Structure 1
Amino acid sequence: MARAGSGIFGRWAAGLLGAVLGGIALLLLLDRAFPPDLSRLETVGRVVVDREGRTLSALPAPGGVWRLPVGAEEVPPHLVELLVAAEDRRFWRHPGVDPIALGRAAFQWARAGRVVSGGSTLSMQAARLLEPRPRNLRSKAIEAFRAVQLEWRLGKPGVLRAWLTLAPMGGNLEGVRAGALAWFGRPVERVSVAEAALLVAVPRRPETLRPDRHAEAARAARNAVLTRRGAPALPEAERVAALAEGMPDARRRMPGLAPHLSRQVAREVSGDVLRTTLDSGLQRAMEGIAREAMAGLPERGSLAIVVADLRTREARAVVGGEWLAEGRAGALDLTRAVRSPGSALKPLLYAMAFDRGLARPGSVMEDLPRLFGDWAPENFARGFSGRVTAASALRQSLNLPAVALMEALGPIRFASAMKRLGAPPRMPPGAGAALPLALGGAGVTLRELVGVIAAIGDGGRGGALRVLPGGAPFEGEAVVRAPAADAVAAILTQGFPGGGPEGVAWKTGTSWGGRDALAVGFDARHAAGVWVGRPDGTPIPGATGRSLALPVLARVFAALPMAPRAVEGTVAARAAGSAPVDGLRLLFPPSGAVIDEGAVTIRAAGGRRPFTFLVDGVPFASGGARREAGWVPPGPGFYRVTVLDADGGAVSAAVRVRGGE
């Protein structure tokens, strides 16, 4: 008998094993023949975040649905605990279908003659969210099969991801990330226990539990989730506060900072959450500055701003224009538009000239009419300043000295340096690098221009701006040597007209006809640029970089953390390896002085030797190490006396020489 019994048991066990294996084989065949449709889970919007992970922009899924992806590992633990307690207490123990819950639902249905509880697990709910169907028994059977498939294919984390991403939150909102942004105005990572409970409750009846329309119903549903068995245990004071917490009374706008850059990144980078190098607080401040400035611009005028970290070349704020503004080409990213830089490239030209020994800050140059082949460039103000130092010529943005330096340096060499800086010059059709490059005769973008000016502020290290984090730390290529770059930085470090932050080096640019007004600058930590103009390229009458763009640049640096550069004398002394020197001063004659005919001794103080003395722009004496020089006025009249030092510092005084009695 024992042998017969053991034989029967063996046959029974073998049969059971065969049935199990057959069932598994059938499930595998069905799974392969009828795979779940995951397209809704894969057709999602994108979230763009700043360097610290703070939300900049949310971009909707196709069709305008706010379906933003999120996984269980990205939400607070109390949200998952509330969800499991409210919807599927045995979630972690069943394979997708809960026989106990289904049996209870069937019994209640049979006894009451109607559906009392659905018996759906979170896995079955996820299946229904992926493939919505009519609510009937056939659909329930399909959902049960799909639930097992989802558990098999995605595991518990994948099932939670599907629910958290697809759960309806009212209107065109789907998922807890979109719900948190729309109802609370904060990322889902930072929702409170009460807010998490509302996100769990709303999907049960998303239109009748919308908190902005049905506040009391939403409150009751939320509090039911909070008090459900298995919900996170809270201290009594926190529990009372959570139950009393108010309902959102309106749906908030989705975050939309840096809209142009966000869409650029979404086109170029894969992933659900896209990290950038921006700073959300600074981006918000720059967009505010831009809005206020654009309110005062002429019709169709627009504005763009770029702020970058000087050392890493990472963009911290990018304002591409007024997003979708009618008449301002609001869909275009004007930080990437190719425009003429005007005189804003002159700092690079002078740095290269200083680096190659073609000039130094104190070199005397001629700002006088001259032909370069058949081209006769003029200054913006149409006049000429005579003999000036290179430092003064750069500060005044004089054109003739710049073109002369370009001729000596070579436009091809200059264009090559621009390419190495990540700013390849776009020439007119059929044209090559030529002398007009000195005055903006090629196109660059504002982002590229900020990269060029950053190289001047960073000791000559060149490199394009970056908007995406990661990769090797920025090292840069030495386009010019540090002493030359520092000399130009010292020349450009001056106060803003009308006041503003101190210790900022800046330069303006104006393209032909007032089509582009630019200002770029840097302090010890940041580089920034502002473009003002009309996107369609039509001129703004009277527009200049100094009048339109520079005041905005002053506001940009006023909004940045203070990081002033050293004053000119200190920078020059550091470059020379010596102690700082006093600022150059003219002791005699003072400005406005009236002096008699005869010999006059001009005296200077401070500054760095050697010194050059000029009257009306014409040198008359090189004092060398001496701080004074004798001058005999040629006759009565008005004169301008100037003293220059070795660093290009210049001080002047207007005097009148009166005739004999």
Structure 2
Amino acid sequence: MRTLRTLAKRRSAIWRRYRRSPWSIGLTLVIICLVVRSLPYLAPIHAAALVQEQQAIAFTDRNGLPLGTVLTRDQEHTVTVPLDQVSTAFKHAIIAAEDGRFYQHGALDGRAIVRAFLEAVQARQLVSGASTITMQLARMLEPSPRKLPGKVKEIWTSWRLTAGMNKDEILQAYINRLPMGGNVYGIEAAARIYFGIPASDLNVAQASLLAGLPNDPTRLNPYDRWQALKRRQTYVLDRMVQDRYLSRAAADRAFQEALSLQPRQQGIIAAPHFLFWLADQRSSHPAAVQTTLDRPLQQFVEAQVQQVIQALAPHNVHHAAALVLDNHSGDVLAYVGSPNYFADAQSGRNDGVQALRQPGSTLKPFLYELALEQQVIRPNTVLADVPTRYAIPGAKLYTPSDYSETFQGPVRVRVALANSLNVPAVRVLEKVSVKAFLDRLHQLGFTHLTQTPDYYGLGLALGGGEVSLWELARAYLALANRGEAIGVRREERGERGEEVDFGVSAQSNDVRSQKSGVRSQESAVETNPKFRIFPSGTLREQNSKLSLPLSPLTSSSTSSLITDMLSDAHARAKAFGVNSLLSLPFPTAVKTGTSSDFRDTWTVGFSTDYTVAVWVGNFDGQPMQQVSGVTGAAPLWNRIMLHLHEHREPIAFPPPMGLVKRPICALSGARPTPGCPSVVQEYFALGDLSEYDRQPDPFYQAVVGSKGNREYRLKLPPEYNEWLAMQPLTPTAGELRILSPRNGDVFLLEAGASPDSAQQLQFRLANSSTQTTKWRLNGQTLTTPTPDSVFWRPKPGNWTLEVKRGDVSDRVTFEVQVAERRSTRKGFSIAQ
């Protein structure tokens, strides 16, 4: 035991002397460093792990004409090349500019680190960095904040790269990922885009210029900052001379050499939005893709978009989008997302075809179609376009109206739809139900209407949601095909319907746009909660698409009936006139839409051969100046339609099957009587003819005249009383009728209003008279300065208003409530 204790004491003493020894401390540190430095060899990064699979895709139109080459997906131009296919001049230039001792050091350059440290101490600030090409590649692969933890991570990744790759492999991965300005990455893409040549053909002047770009790709963009880039080229050439890649004379000649850049189109001839969007949707990456586009038509539509926007610029209109579909095949023939994709300052990369906007009145045809199918209305149904108020939970009251703030009184379904009247549409939606209409819109492919029916409410009939031009065009394509939802094809392969695409996910946190009123491209933004902007490169195809059956969604006769209404120039004459831009020399069905505050204008229409959808507005949601669907989008729609049918007029729309025409009174929608002043033709289902023959006219009623003869007098139902009070109509002599308020009206009293506030209600009669008129409110007599009108300060409660003149009297009940202070969603259609 004593011996063991002695040995233990000796070992403890030896260990204490070892810990105090400088050599022991140094050896420990060396061992730790060797262990740490050896760890990357346990997790090396090999060249095979850095292979960039996204390669260039050459797109052509339906006839084989080139459209352009998209060098990768995700709206970024890049293509990888082996190191031996890069000019020696560029390899020398990039090494001289970024890491002169690249082939002499490992992952880190100790000499550069010491130099940078001494310069920082002397200048008391960071003067130059010590990042090597390997460290820069590590930062490209795993971006991290430039702080201490990020720098440690960068060094660790650099060690892993050197553990698994040789210098040439590192340099190849590096130059294929270099940021070269805008959305251009890699030397091959930069050489093609800026100079129109492969990277293997770059000379010293071109190579030294491009080698300066990665230092600051934004501030050295060759299209916008040429002089700054030339100054950076001077630095690169000086470094090449210093490293003995060039003589001074050769460097001077390279700097003086005149260089010309390719146009900004970056290798794309036509349809850049479509090409990037299509490349992004693909799961495979073939070398060539033949699309369904028609290049001459595409270029025509692009030119027309630019011309129309130039004409509308004084009205604060800066953007437009257009889509052309073939009704027979479902082919996409033209796709224009903005006036100029390459105009970065004007947010040109934003894709107006896929952007989510408020559709205004363009959804109304599908509402009326559903209502006709459900038989809640008939083609001859008369709807009341009169002041109407709806109680909404929280908001208390919703009062739809058109931009003109006028009302048409009794209108037939055809007239209400063709003139895009708002109140009749809301009345129809109330009968159909918001849920049923929302379900129908989902069936038609409006995948972005993801809120509940209560969220949209009755405003859904007027555009109180967000849809894309792509979705609208597909829905109208189904209408053009009499309810058959055919597949939309984008590529020339397979049979019709193979390229069906009824759902594209739009992720609001993946929005990228430009600087004109929107944040920079790197930030995910939603510039306006009502206007989400999605550029082509940020949309992703969902793994589970909305499956839409390739079978009729609606009855053929109902779709044909809606088409007939939308093609009736006389039916829409009240709002648009007979000879508007919507009226073409051949049959077309068309609908316009304008969202609130003139933020969006739409025109979507079709012939028997083509469907054309157009949006005009501003990507940042700024309102236009008094530009509606017929003045904003319709001119562009008109030009495209005329061009499409320049050489061959389309055939007429087939009449609705199973329906027959009968004469009706234009005002009442009933079988005409001798008293009806205007008669028109309307379609009827065969099963409705017996009712048509039997039902009397509800408006023009037969009475016995003063001379015993039979006369017809117009007597509208009570719901028209308020509207009648606005019209220059003379009621029947001796008739006593309260026009305002109407029976059952609910009025809102402003919250917090004092009893002496200026809010007043006017009680009005239908006609004037010299006879004594007595007014009573809840049994209390009212003092009236004039017999035909009374002004009353409203108070909360239920009220009964009575009026009596001789033996004739009338009575209405109404309610006054205190309004809640609550903001309501805006964005409803203003008609047209």
- Give the TM-score of the pair, scaled to structure 1: 0.55
Residues 381 and 46 (structure 1), Cα distance of their counterparts in 2 relative to 1, 3 Å cut: same
Alignment of 1:256 with 2:274, yes or no, is no
Q: Distance in 2 between matches of 1:274 and 1:173?
A: 24
In the TM superposition, residue 58 of structure 1 has moved relative to its aligned partner by 2.1
* Aligned with 1:516 (options 579, 589, 600): 600
Q: Name the residue aligned to 1:318.
A: 335
2:311 equivalent in structure 1: 296
Q: 1:324 to 1:583 in 2, by over 3 A?
A: farther
One-letter amino acid of the counterpart of residue 68, structure 2: S
Mapped pair 1:363 → 2:381: yes
The answer to whether the Cα contact below 8 Å between 2:317 and 2:624 also exists between their aligned partners in 1 is no
Contact residue 480 and residue 607 of structure 2 kept, 8 A: yes
Change (3 A) 1:334 1:459: same
Equivalent of 1:265 in 278, 287, 290 = 278
Give the Cα–Cα distance (whole angstroms) in 1 for the partners of residues 627 and 344 of structure 2: 22
Matching residue of 1:282: 297
Match of 1:353 in 2: 371
For 1:433-472, list aligned pairs within 5 A. 433-462=456-485, 465-470=488-493
CA change 1:277–1:250 in 2 (3 A) is same
1:395-436 Cα distance to aligned partner (Å, 9 max, x none): 111111111111111111111111111112436799534221
Shift of 1:307: 0.9
Q: 1:67 to 1:584 in 2, by over 3 A?
A: farther
Counterparts of 1:203-282 in structure 2 under 5 Å? 254-269=267-282, 270-282=285-297
Deviation per residue, 1:201-244 (Å, 9 max, x gap) = x99x8869x9xxxxxxxxxxxxxxxxxxxxxxxxxxxxxxxxxx
Task: Render the CA deviation track for 1:133-175: whole Å, top value 9, x for unaligned.
Answer: 99xxxxxxxxxxxxxxxxxxxxxxxxxxxxxxxxxxxxx9989
Instruction: Establish whether residue 398 from structure 1 lines up as the match of residue 421 from structure 2.
Output: yes
Paired residue secondary structure (2:436)? helix
Cα distance in 1 for residues equivalent to 2:712 and 2:651: 34
C-alpha distance in structure 2 between counterparts of 1:435 and 1:511, whole Å = 15
Q: What is the distance in 2 between the residues matched to 1:59 and 1:129? A: 20
SS in 2 for 1:519: strand
Q: 1:305 aligns with which of 322, 325, 335?
A: 322
Q: Secondary structure at the match of 2:657?
A: helix
Give the CA deviation at 1:500.
3.5
Render the CA deviation track for 1:31-58: whole Å, top value 9, x for unaligned.
xxxx999999977533222233321122
Question: 1:632 Cα shift?
Answer: 6.5
One-letter code of the match for 1:401? P
Q: Determine the C-alpha separation between the residues in 2 that align with 1:300 and 1:399.
A: 25
**Secondary structure in 2 matching 1:394:** helix
TM-score, normalised with respect to structure 2: 0.44
Deviation at 1:251, TM superposition (A): 7.2
The one-letter code sitting in structure 2 at the alignment partner of 1:543 is V
Indicate the RMSD between aligned Cα atoms, in angstroms. Answer: 4.7
CA-to-partner distance for each residue in 1:596-616, whole Å, 9 max, x for gaps?
Answer: xxx97857587778899xxxx
| Matching residue of 1:74 | none
Equivalent pair of 1:328/1:535 in contact (CA under 8 Å):
no
**Counterpart in the other structure of 1:387:** 410
Is the Cα contact below 8 Å between 2:418 and 2:568 reproduced in 1? no
Q: CA deviation at 1:633?
A: 8.7
Provide Cα deviations, 1:528-582, integer angstroms capped at 9, x if missing partner.
Answer: 1111111111211312112101111111111113676666xx744x52377xx89
The secondary structure found in structure 1 opposite 2:592 is strand
Deviation at 1:482, TM superposition (A): 0.7
Give the distance between the partners of 1:556 and 1:583, measured in 2 at CA.
Answer: 36
- Structure 1 residues 501 and 250 mapped into 2: Cα distance closer, same or farther (>3 Å)? farther
1:410–1:431 CA distance, 2 compared to 1 (3 A):
closer
Query: In the alignment, what sits opposite 1:493?
Result: 567
Superposed displacement of residue 382, structure 1? 0.8
Distance 2:561 2:630 in 1: 22
C-alpha separation in 1, matches of 2:678 and 2:427? 32
8 Å CA contact 1:517, 1:531 repeated in 2: yes
Q: Distance in 2 between matches of 1:606 and 1:65?
A: 59
Q: What residue is the counterpart of 1:55 in the other structure?
A: 66
Code of the residue aligned with 1:367 in structure 2: it is: D
The reply to whether residue 334 of structure 1 matches residue 334 of structure 2 is no
Amino acid at match of 1:537: G
The amino acid across from 1:390 in the alignment is V
Match of 1:527 in 2: 611
Aligned counterpart in structure 2 of residue 544 of structure 1, from 621, 628, 634: 628
Aligned to 1:620, which of 696, 700, 715?
Answer: 700
Q: 1:424 aligns with which of 408, 422, 447?
A: 447
Cα distance in 1 for partners of 2:202, 2:89 equals 17
Counterpart secondary structure, 1:478: coil
| Unaligned segments of structure 2, at least 5 residues | 1-45, 91-185, 207-259, 392-396, 498-548, 570-578, 667-673, 703-709, 716-726, 730-832
1:484 to 552, 558, 573: 558
Amino acid corresponding to residue 311 of structure 1 in structure 2: H
Looking at structure 2, the residues matched to 601 and 378 of structure 1 have their Cα atoms a distance apart, in angstroms, of 28
What is the one-letter code of the residue matched to 2:268? P
Q: How does 1:88-107 map to 2 (within 5 A)?
A: none
Change (3 A) 1:454 1:68: farther
Instruction: Describe the superposition over 1:85-121 as per-residue Cα deviations: whole angstroms up to 9, x where unpaired.
Output: xxxxxxxxxxxxxxxxxxxxxxxxxxxxxxxxxxxxx
Looking at structure 1, the residues matched to 281 and 370 of structure 2 have their Cα atoms a distance apart, in angstroms, of 35
Query: Which letter maps to 2:449?
Result: R
Check whether the contact 2:608–2:650 (CA below 8 A) recurs between aligned residues. Answer: yes
Distance change >3 Å, CA 283–CA 267, structure 1 → 2: same
The answer (yes or no) to whether the contact 1:308–1:528 under 8 Å persists in 2 is yes
The aligned counterpart of 1:83 is: none
Question: SS of the residue aligned with 2:362?
Answer: helix
**In the comparison of the two structures, how many residue pairs are matched?**
426
Fraction of identical pairs, as percent: 23
**Do the aligned residues in 2 keep the contact of 1:524 with 1:564 (CA within 8 Å)?**
no
| 1:173-184 to 2 correspondences below 5 Å | none
On the 8 A contact 1:508/1:520 being kept in 2, the answer is: yes
Alpha-carbon distance in 1 for matches of 2:640, 2:611: 10
**Equivalent residue for 1:575?**
657
- For structure 1, the 5+ residue unaligned runs are 1-34, 70-125, 135-171, 184-198, 211-248, 587-598, 623-628, 640-661
Asked whether the equivalents of residues 438 and 453 of structure 2 are also in contact (C-alpha less than 8 Å), the reply is: no
Deviation at 1:385, TM superposition (A): 0.6
User: Structure 1 residues 402 and 302, CA, compared in 2 at 3 Å: closer, same or farther?
Assistant: same
Question: Is the contact between residue 612 and residue 637 of structure 2 (CA under 8 Å) also seen in structure 1?
Answer: yes
Choose between structure 1 and 2: higher helix proportion. Answer: 1
AA of the residue aligned to 2:615: W
Displacement, 1:278? 1.7
Change (3 A) 1:262 1:381: same
Residues 514 and 542, structure 1, Cα contact 8 Å, conserved in 2: yes
Conservation of the 8 A alpha-carbon contact between 1:519 and 1:549: yes
CA distance in 1, matches of 2:275, 2:347: 17
**Farther-moved stretch of structure 1 (540-549 vs 555-564):** 555-564
Whichever residue aligns with residue 551 of structure 2, its letter is: E
Asked if 2 retains the 8 angstrom alpha-carbon contact of 1:65 and 1:173, the reply is no
SS at match of 1:506: strand
Q: Distance in 1 between matches of 2:728 and 2:650?
A: 37
Give the whole-Å Cα distance in 2 for the aligned partners of 1:566 and 1:585.
30
